[in-house]
């Protein structure tokens, strides 16, 4: 019996009512992940217990780390009378026992449909004295039937601005930028912070999951590992000279909100994955440090270029299928195009108007050779059907763990990238942003090709040196 051969090659009529093997998940997990990027913050899921359990399990599987979050534990009663008493009890219990600095509440389909008003409940909690001095309760709305996990992340990131950022000083702090890194790995955030520091700039990074979901082993269970953006930093973000938001879907809204609220100018850039996107990031930073790019960064760029030229013959003409989140897919596609590979098939479950246009810009005159879909029916089933129906298939798959069925069924090399990765390690530790991150990505892609070539080569052409 073959594994999971439940995808017919012939394309079915356009599906309207059905998602099969989704290339997305729901908003609340994004809000939970973002909230973990606040220092000493306990995310709180205002809904049924299962939501919270699923999100924590998925984050734990992806990071191999404890993922802490509370839940309002809705009952039949709460679904009739509203979840106010649950949330009040939760706020009291959480501050009593877990003592976070911030409780970051996100809603669920259940509490949204009931119509719970979180700010009003938080106010009631404050009136009852349930919120200790100096502690904060923030919230964002993340109904599961709107957007996708990426928009949940965006909403919580924006909530950090809405609740904390303040323009206090008369002048913006020259030489200090805000960095909104988007939904990337803790290692990516650390890498981005390193680049900003090398450029000689101060930086407030939010949300910052580095040091939270890649916490070192200390022999103790730490409810709140050392990392994360502090409330003071989030407040001070209102006085920074500029905001650089990476990825319009995940970071754009927060940057715009900060501009509107505190008059901090903003630039939204694509995620700095690949040579060109990293160039844009570095050049933008250069505008704030007096026009200087340190030799170390130039050398890192040079090493990336060196790798590309050394190995370029292995890349050219290769095709890939990609799935995941829009911000990632645009930059990954650009990276592939820059080494003469073609992102032939691209799907994302995240809805949103600009994605297809952005992909078109990246693909340029090759756009007609590619298929790009988004939304409810743009799922792994669709992707699998495309590949099955294509005699040439593709040379490479890039995406989260759920691609392993296609990889096995179609026997295609597979590089894991995105969320969630449930069956490999590395994503927690090795960045894929910046020049060094691009080296890592190209190394993974190359090794996948070379392993495949070694596996399939007849003995006569099995080569030692490649």
**Binds other proteins by CB under 8 A, chosen from 31, 110, 187, 329:** 110
294 binds other proteins (CB under 8 A): no
428 binds other proteins (CB under 8 A): no
Residues numbered 89-108 forming contacts with other proteins, rule: CB under 8 A: 89-94, 96-98, 108
The C-alpha atoms of residue 193 and residue 179 are separated, in whole angstroms, by 8
Give Cβ neighbours of residue 170 (< 8 Å, ≥ 6 apart).
none
Cβ distance to other proteins smaller for residue 110 or 140: 110
Cβ distance to other proteins smaller for residue 27 or 205: 27
Q: Least distance in Å: CB of 89 to other proteins?
A: 4
Residues numbered 355-384 forming contacts with other proteins, rule: CB under 8 A: 376, 381
Question: Coil, strand, or helix at residue 389?
Answer: helix
Phi/psi at 433 (nearest 5 deg)? -95, 165
Cβ distance to other proteins smaller for residue 102 or 275: 102
The C-alpha atoms of residue 438 and residue 435 are separated, in whole angstroms, by 5
Binding residues with other proteins: total (CB under 8 A): 85
Stretch that binds other proteins, among 84-92, 155-163, 171-179, 270-278 (CB under 8 A): 84-92
Nearest residue to 352 (alpha-carbon basis) of 212, 461, 249, 214: 249
Helix (H) or strand (E) holding 326: helix 326-338
218 binds other proteins (CB under 8 A): yes
Residues numbered 174-193 forming contacts with other proteins, rule: CB under 8 A: none
For residue 158, CA distances in Å to 31, 88, 122, 200 come to 10, 24, 18, 27
Residues numbered 193-212 forming contacts with other proteins, rule: CB under 8 A: none
The C-alpha atoms of residue 3 and residue 269 are separated, in whole angstroms, by 41
Q: Find where tokens 């389909």 sit.
A: 109
Q: Least distance in Å: CB of 290 to other proteins?
A: 34
Q: Least distance in Å: CB of 29 to other proteins?
A: 7
How far out from the chain centre does Cα 407 lie? 23
Cβ distance to other proteins smaller for residue 79 or 235: 79
Between the CA atoms of 79, 84, 90 and 92, what dihedral angle is there, to the nearest 10 degrees? -160
Cβ distance to other proteins smaller for residue 60 or 453: 60
**Binds other proteins by CB under 8 A, chosen from 124, 126, 146, 356:** 146
Phi/psi at 310 (nearest 5 deg)? -55, -40
109 binds other proteins (CB under 8 A): yes
For residue 55, CA distances in Å to 21, 58, 284, 414, 421 come to 18, 5, 35, 25, 14
Question: Coil, strand, or helix at residue 61?
Answer: helix
- What is the sign of the dihedral through the CA atoms of 264, 266, 272 and 278? negative
For residue 3, CA distances in Å to 11, 408, 416 come to 20, 8, 20
Q: Least distance in Å: CB of 204 to other proteins?
A: 27
Stretch that binds other proteins, among 182-190, 201-209, 221-229, 254-262 (CB under 8 A): 221-229
Residues numbered 5-64 forming contacts with other proteins, rule: CB under 8 A: 5-6, 8, 12, 15-22, 24-26, 28-29, 42, 44, 47-58, 60-61, 63-64
Q: Least distance in Å: CB of 99 to other proteins?
A: 9
**Binds other proteins by CB under 8 A, chosen from 41, 107, 143, 210:** 143
114 binds other proteins (CB under 8 A): yes
Cβ distance to other proteins smaller for residue 49 or 120: 49
125 binds other proteins (CB under 8 A): no
Residues numbered 321-350 forming contacts with other proteins, rule: CB under 8 A: 349
């Amino acid at each position: 019996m073959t594994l999971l051969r439940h995808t017919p090659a012939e394309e079915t009529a356009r599906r309207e009512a059905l998602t099969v093997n989704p290339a997305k998940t729901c908003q609340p997990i994004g809000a939970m992940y973002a909230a973990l990027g606040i220092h000493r913050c306990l995310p709180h899921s205002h809904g049924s217990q299962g939501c919270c359990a699923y999100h924590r399990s998925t984050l734990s599987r992806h990071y191999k780390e404890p993922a802490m979050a509370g839940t309002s534990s809705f009952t039949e009663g709460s679904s009739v009378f509203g979840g106010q008493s649950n949330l009040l009890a939760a706020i009291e219990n959480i501050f009593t026992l877990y003592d976070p600095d911030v409780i970051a509440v996100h809603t669920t389909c259940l509490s949204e449909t009931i119509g719970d008003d979180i700010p009003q409940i938080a106010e009631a909690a404050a009136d009852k004295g349930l919120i200790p001095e100096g502690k904060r309760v923030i919230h964002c709305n993340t109904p599961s039937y709107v957007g996708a996990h990426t928009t949940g992340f965006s909403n919580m990131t924006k909530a950090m601005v809405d609740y904390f950022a303040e323009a206090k000083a008369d002048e913006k702090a020259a030489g200090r930028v805000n960095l909104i890194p988007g939904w990337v790995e803790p290692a990516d955030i650390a890498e981005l912070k390193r680049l900003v520091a090398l450029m000689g700039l101060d930086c407030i990074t939010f949300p910052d999951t580095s040091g939270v979901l890649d916490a070192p082993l200390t022999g103790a269970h730490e409810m709140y590992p050392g990392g994360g953006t502090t409330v003071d930093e989030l407040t001070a973000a209102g006085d920074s000279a500029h905001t650089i938001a990476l990825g319009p879907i995940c970071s754009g809204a927060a940057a715009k909100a900060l501009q509107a609220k505190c008059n901090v100018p903003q630039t939204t850039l694509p995620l700095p994955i690949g040579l060109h996107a990293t160039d844009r990031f570095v050049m933008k930073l250069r505008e704030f440090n007096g026009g200087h790019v340190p030799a170390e960064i130039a050398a890192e760029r040079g090493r990336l270029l060196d790798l590309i030229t050394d190995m370029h013959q292995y890349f050219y003409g290769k095709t890939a299928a990609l799935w995941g989140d829009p911000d990632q897919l645009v930059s990954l596609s650009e990276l592939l195009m820059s080494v003469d590979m073609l992102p032939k098939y691209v799907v994302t479950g995240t809805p949103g108007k600009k994605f297809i246009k952005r992909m078109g810009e990246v693909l340029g005159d090759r756009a007609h050779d590619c298929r790009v879909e988004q939304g409810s029916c743009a799922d792994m089933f669709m992707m699998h059907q495309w590949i099955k129906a294509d005699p040439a298939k593709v040379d490479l798959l890039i995406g989260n763990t759920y691609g392993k069925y296609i990889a096995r069924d179609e026997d295609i090399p597979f590089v894991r990238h995105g969320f969630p990765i449930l069956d490999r390690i590395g994503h927690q530790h090795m960045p894929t942003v910046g020049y060094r991150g691009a080296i890592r990505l190209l190394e993974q892609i190359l090794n996948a090709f070379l392993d495949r070539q070694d596996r399939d080569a007849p003995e006569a052409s099995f080569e030692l040196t490649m």
